[in-house]
Amino acid sequence: MLTKVIEQAKIDHFTKWFERADKIVIVSHVSPDGDAIGSSLGLYHFLISQDKIVNVIVPNAYPDFLKWMPGSKDILLYDRYKEFADKLIAEADVICCLDFNALKRIDEMADAIAASPARKVMIDHHLYPEDFCRITMSYPGISSTSELVFRLICRMGYFSDISKEGAECIYTGMMTDTGSFTYNSNNREIYFIISELLSKGVDKDDIYRKVYNTYSESRLRLMGYVLSNMNVYSEYNTALITLTREEQGKFHYIKGDSEGFVNIPLSIKNVCFSCFLREDTEKDMIKISFRSVGTFPCNQLAAEFFSGGGHLNASGGEFYGSLAEASALFEKAIEKYKPLLTAKG
């Protein structure tokens, strides 16, 4: 049995909307990851099984290793089909905002979502949700939005209508947001949910292979290159890796190729904080990813120095300036956070 995470009043409120709605739009954050796509498609499969007209819209492209997911072909990219997407957003009865807590996380889509008269619900697990939805289901203690989607469908009484396809999407989001159940994954209910998803016919081992073992040769070479240039700040228990636009070109970089790189330095003994600085391919900025183990609050450092945020152990931000400037600021940040970085335990 699962604990009731989502308040009953919110389940009842959403169920009322759901029963009356014909057109439902599901949106998720910019540079969608496994949980963004997994939760969106998980909910999508359920809603189409209830004969709703459903559209999943994300701000921009997502990595190739998520394209096998059932329903992936139906996802609309806002930056390519803006006019059509704007129409769907304006005409929706209900808009489900998944895996983000603030309108700025959906970039160019924000205005259209804010302006739409549709009823809006947030289903998310990031800290500090902004107040832009009539129903806010925000549970930072839950490790993925996909898990929340599973919990929502079950609480509405529709477990039996979750299809194998929907279960695969939900599983993928749960797996990717926990590093294949290596962090944020000590809640035993996660494994109860996995067991329920397996009962739908999900092949979890095959999903792992499809997500993590279908990269290109050049991606692996890029990984070797990035790691060989890694900076380890032993006195700070910290590691830094970087990637310039030029280096990306050399290794035929495509979106998603550096996914997961930021986690690797954490496999060094005593390193509890890892940073990845990458010159963005689309915007003139440095994309920043942070990961930590234990109690080090990388989201706090991200917010203070890089106007970013996220979770305790996985956060990020953006930096407008050169890579050298970003690195220098990073060094300043770890100097300030040295007491926390070197604290025992």
Interface with ligand 5GP (CB under 6 A)? 33, 126, 262, 289, 308-311, 314-318
15-23, 170-178, 215-223, 315-323 -> range binding Mn ion (CB under 5 A) = 170-178
Instruction: Compute the distance between CA of residue 285 and CA of residue 323 in angstroms, rounded to an integer.
Output: 9
Q: Which of 14, 21, 35, 337 binds Mn ion (CB under 5 A)?
A: 35
Residue closer to ligand 5GP (CB basis): 105 or 155? 105
The answer to whether 116 and 24 have CB atoms below 8 angstroms apart is no
Which residue's beta carbon is nearest to the bound ligand 5GP?
316
Q: Is 259 in the site for Mn ion (CB under 5 A)?
A: no
Residue closer to Mn ion (CB basis): 99 or 259? 99
**Amino acid identity for residue 92 in this structure:** A
Q: Which of ligand 5GP, Mn ion, none does 55 bind, CB closer than 5 to 8 A by kind? A: none
Residue closer to ligand 5GP (CB basis): 42 or 317? 317
Given the DSSP bridges, would you call strands 273-279 and 286-292 parallel, antiparallel or unpaired?
Answer: antiparallel
Residue closer to ligand 5GP (CB basis): 48 or 303? 303
Residue closer to ligand 5GP (CB basis): 247 or 318? 318
Q: Is 124 in the site for Mn ion (CB under 5 A)?
A: no
Nearest approach in angstroms of CB 88 to Mn ion is 23
Nearest approach in angstroms of CB 232 to Mn ion is 29
Nearest approach in angstroms of CB 176 to ligand 5GP is 9
Q: Which residues contact 120 (CB under 8 A, 6 or more apart)?
A: 94, 95, 96, 97, 113, 132, 133, 134, 135
Burial annotation 161-184 (CB, 10 A radius, 16+ → b, else e): ebbebbbbbbbbbbbbbbbeeebb
Instruction: Compute the distance between CA of residue 114 and CA of residue 95 in angstroms, rounded to an integer.
Output: 11
Tell me the three state secondary structure of residue 254: coil
Instruction: Compute the distance between CA of residue 194 and CA of residue 202 in angstroms, rounded to an integer.
Output: 9
Nearest approach in angstroms of CB 149 to Mn ion is 11
Residue closer to Mn ion (CB basis): 149 or 222? 149
Nearest approach in angstroms of CB 100 to ligand 5GP is 8
Instruction: Compute the distance between CA of residue 120 and CA of residue 26 in angstroms, rounded to an integer.
Output: 10
Nearest approach in angstroms of CB 105 to Mn ion is 11
Lookup: tokens for 241: 């890796």
Q: Which residues contact 201 (CB under 8 A, 6 or more apart)?
A: 164, 167
Residue closer to ligand 5GP (CB basis): 41 or 314? 314
32-40, 76-84, 286-294, 337-345 -> range binding Mn ion (CB under 5 A) = 32-40
Nearest approach in angstroms of CB 143 to Mn ion is 8
Instruction: Compute the distance between CA of residue 169 and CA of residue 46 in angstroms, rounded to an integer.
Output: 11
Instruction: Compute the distance between CA of residue 7 and CA of residue 146 in angstroms, rounded to an integer.
Output: 17
The alpha helices in the chain, defined as continuous H runs, are 8-20, 34-49, 82-91, 110-115, 145-155, 164-176, 188-198, 204-212, 217-228, 245-250, 298-306, 323-336, 338-342
Q: Is 177 in the site for Mn ion (CB under 5 A)?
A: yes
Number of separate helices (H) and strands (E) present in the chain: 13, 12
Q: Which of ligand 5GP, Mn ion, none does 266 bind, CB closer than 5 to 8 A by kind? A: none
Q: How many residues bind Mn ion (CB under 5 A)?
A: 4
Q: Which of Mn ion, ligand 5GP, none does 313 bind, CB closer than 5 to 8 A by kind? A: none
Q: Binding pattern to Mn ion, positions 90-109, x when CB under 5 A?
A: ---------x----------
Contact positions toward Mn ion, by CB under 5 A? 35, 99, 145, 177
